[in-house]
Amino acid sequence: MPSRSSKDHDFTTVARRVVEQAIGEHLDGTPLEDPNKGKNPAAVALGKLGGAKGGKARAKALSPKQRIDIARIAAEARWKKG
């Protein structure tokens, strides 16, 4: 993951980004970059659909013991970091 500069966290920079997203264009009137440009629209739609139901569907398919084991491993990993 690329490192972020302190400029990315500056209050005015974040506020400007929020306003631009709200109005749908840059403050100078140029359109915002399309994050889905060059992507297959059908693939994007399928990805959103699968992402929305993925965790719930996986949890439903697992047995209670499997869920407990997964949670235990995750908790151990979190405690190792600290």
How confident is the model over 30-39, as pLDDT tens digits?
999 888 788 8
**Residue 35: closest CA among 26, 44, 46, 22:** 44
Predicted TM-score (pTM) of this structure: 0.40
- CA gap 19, 12 in Å, rounded: 10
Contacts of 16 (CB under 8 A, 6+ apart): 27
Say which residue the tokens 């631009």 belong to.
20
Say which residue the tokens 């084991």 belong to.
69
Give residue 10's identity as a one-letter amino acid code: D
* 64-79 tens-digit pLDDT: 999 999 999 999 999 9
